[in-house]
Amino acid sequence: MLEENRADRQLTERGVIDILSETFTIYWRHFPRIVMLVAVIYVPIGFLELIVTTINRASVWPTLAMTVLDGVLSIFVYAAGIFAVGQHYLVNQVNVGDCYTRALWRVVSLTVFAIALGVLLALVMSAVLTVSDPSTAVETQEAAEPEITVNVLIALAVMFVSLPILVIYSIYLVVIMPALIVEGRHVRSALQRGFDLARNSKWRIFGHLVVYSLVSIGLLIALNTPMLILGGATSPGESPSLWVSLVGVVVNRASSILIAPVTIIATTLLYYDLRIRKENYDISRLSLEMGIART
């Protein structure tokens, strides 16, 4: 009976489709707990976003602040999610408290990576907001076409530099984060471990991340369809009403809570797959590293 219970919880080599299939299997099996794991962080952020939206809808810069805060705290959600995937394979359950206890065990190391992600997101978002803000363009006397300002040119340069760095950072984060949470390494050791594990696999990791992102975007569009319809009902040039904006925040935050686990689970499975292919990684080693006996 015990072996039958373990039969569908094996670490094996998986391609991108197999990883996605296993991702949704884990997700639905532990749906309430996994959603709770994300919600304990994202719901408070959502309330803060509602307050910010109510107080100031005119400025785009609160959007920047919320994006950076999302990025920083998502590191801790990601860390807890990595441990949750390990719990699935070892004990076939998810304990949210234990997941965040493990994350706090490496709080200093996680904070370093969270700050790095926050800085990158701040650079990208500030560049995007500067380029998209009409106030950064000036009208010429001879034509109605806006003239590109120095600020816009600087913002474009920042965007073109920081976006590739963000992509590279994301690739290595796939192997560095589990090195912190599963293997219990510190920052320097986790960085070296990430470089070693990603060697000759960076393009494969990148390809997987593109697929996971496309799946997440598809889910996001599907879940946000009501808001897209409401947005389409707004007249061109007219700002959406406060209530439409608030509903948009709620729908977007709820969508994030539901979608974030997909990427977390999939990237953790990708980390397992890399170790299986390179190190013959198995359940016994996972159990030893996480300090949880398999049941």
Whether 295 is covered by a domain: the verdict is no
The two tokens of residue 69 are 């805060």
**Residue 83 counted as domain residue:** yes
User: What burial class does residue 290 get, using C-beta atoms within 10 Å of its C-beta: 0-12 exposed, 13-18 middle, 19+ buried?
Assistant: buried
Look up the domain containing 118 and give its range: 2-290
Length reported for the chain: 295
Number of domains in the chain: 1
Give the pLDDT confidence score for residue 235 in this predicted structure.
45
Q: Is residue 24 part of a domain?
A: yes
Residue 147 pLDDT grade (very low, low, confident, very high; cuts 50, 70, 90): low
Q: Report if residue 234 sits inside a domain.
A: yes
Q: What is the DSSP letter of 292?
A: -
Q: Is 71 part of any domain?
A: yes
Largest CA distance in the chain: 82
Question: What percent of the chain shows pLDDT beyond 90?
Answer: 58
Least confident of 18-22, 110-114, 118-122, 190-194: 118-122
> Is 80 inside any structural domain?
yes
Q: Per the domain annotation, does 273 fall within a domain? A: yes
User: Would you call 65 helix, strand, or coil by DSSP?
Assistant: helix
Angstrom distances, CA of residue 137 to CA of 144, 147, 149, 150? 11, 6, 6, 9
- Which of the listed ranges 3-17, 125-139, 259-273 does the model predict with the highest average pLDDT? 259-273
Q: Is residue 64 part of a domain?
A: yes
